[in-house]
Amino acid sequence: MANERAGRLYVVATPIGNLGDLSPRARAVLSECALVAAEDTRHTGVLLKHFGIATPQLSLHDHNELERTPDLVSRLRQGASIALVSDAGTPAISDPGFDLVRAAAAAGIEVVAIPGPCAAIAALSIGGLPTDRFCFEGFLPARRSARRKRLEAMLHEARTLVFYEAPHRVHETLEDCTKVFGETRGATVVREITKMHETVYRGSLGEHLARAASDPDFSRGEIVLLIAG
Ligand code: SAM
């Protein structure tokens, strides 16, 4: 049964490059909560300062989330509302937050979404590949053999595939994708969404691979890779 005195856990999406994308509701929640649980308090500190928000922060990242979760759930139970944020975009989507959300829900705490930016959804919405069904794969394994294996398991996937990738690994990942899915498979690379150098490259895996080798801008900044099913 829900504890009526308990606070709420707000899962708050933050901008992925343009501060104008912080919603008025996100701003209000960040101001009014007792605590902001942030992936990186210095990073979130810049955001809070920009909006004149003085709510105290506590760090919650991949390396301390399990350890910190019981204390946060106990504070929620005692009536404190907490805003969970990551460095950019929607918490718990290839970012910390899942363990806290699960534990809070299991403890009967109300978990409330304050939706907003998410790089995967933003890329899909402008990528020009089918969006009726898609498959979010997050980051591929960093090791080549594990990455190939993961890609091979998707060979017959009919839905649009969505990957996050680090700029220094884009070239290698495109090599592997081309090997597994073939040069002619349709793909879109979306980089620096909402930032000054936002660019959408549409074409085939073979074309993107050639561009990755010849155009240094292609592998700069943050990237979402979409592959046709
Ligand atoms: N939770 C975040 C979200 O909702 O999008 C994703 C966090 S994940 C650690 C970071 C990855 O998201 C980056 O490596 C990149 O693949 C993608 N990403 C984040 N911001 C982006 C942007 N502005 N443009 C393109 N991709 C972005």
Q: Give 81-136 pLDDT, tens digit per residue.
A: 999 999 999 999 999 999 999 999 999 999 999 999 999 999 999 999 999 999 99
Both tokens of 214, joined, read 């010849």
Q: For the chain, what percent of residues have pLDDT higher than 70?
A: 99
Closest by CA position to 84, among listed 116, 114, 117, 54: 114
User: What pLDDT, on a 0 to 100 scale, did the predictor assign at position 133?
Assistant: 98
List Cα–Cα distances, 131 to 66, 69, 188, in angstroms.
34, 35, 13
**Is the CB of residue 97 less than 8 Å from the CB of residue 64?**
no
What secondary structure letter does DSSP report for 110?
Answer: E
CA distance 100 to 70: 8
Which residues neighbour 227 within 8 Å (Cβ) at sequence distance 6 or greater?
129, 160, 161, 163, 177, 181, 185, 186, 187, 205
Distance, CA 77 to ligand 1 centroid (Å)? 32
Average pLDDT over residues 210-227: 94
User: What pLDDT, on a 0 to 100 scale, did the predictor assign at position 2?
Assistant: 58
CA distance 206 to 219: 15
Phi then psi for residue 226, to 5 deg, are: -115, 135
Average pLDDT over residues 26-42: 98
Average pLDDT over residues 210-229: 94
User: What pLDDT, on a 0 to 100 scale, did the predictor assign at position 4?
Assistant: 72
Mean pLDDT of the chain: 97
CA distance 81 to 7: 4
User: What pLDDT, on a 0 to 100 scale, did the predictor assign at position 219?
Assistant: 85
35-38 and 57-59 beta bridge pairing: parallel
Q: For the chain, what percent of residues have pLDDT higher than 90?
A: 96
pTM above 0.75, yes or no: yes
Average pLDDT over residues 194-212: 97
User: What pLDDT, on a 0 to 100 scale, did the predictor assign at position 1?
Assistant: 52
User: What pLDDT, on a 0 to 100 scale, did the predictor assign at position 5?
Assistant: 87
Distance between alpha carbon 150 and the CA centroid of its chain, in Å? 20
What secondary structure letter does DSSP report for 153?
Answer: T
Distance, CA 222 to ligand 1 centroid (Å)? 6
Which atom number of ligand 1 is nearest to the Cα of residue 121?
5
In this structure, the residues whose C-beta lies within 6 A of any atom of ligand 1 are: 16-17, 86, 88-90, 93-95, 118-120, 164-166, 190-195, 222-224
What secondary structure letter does DSSP report for 81?
Answer: -
Instruction: Tell whether the model's pLDDT for residue 210 goes beyond 70.
Output: yes
Distance, CA 176 to ligand 1 centroid (Å)? 21
Both tokens of 139, joined, read 């980051």
User: What pLDDT, on a 0 to 100 scale, did the predictor assign at position 91?
Assistant: 98
Comparison of pLDDT for 217 and 41, the residue scoring more: 41
Predicted confidence band at 3 (pLDDT cuts at 50, 70, 90)? low
Residue corresponding to tokens 């073939």: 182
CA distance 131 to 219: 24
Distance, CA 149 to ligand 1 centroid (Å)? 23
Residue corresponding to tokens 């996100």: 26
What secondary structure letter does DSSP report for 14?
Answer: B
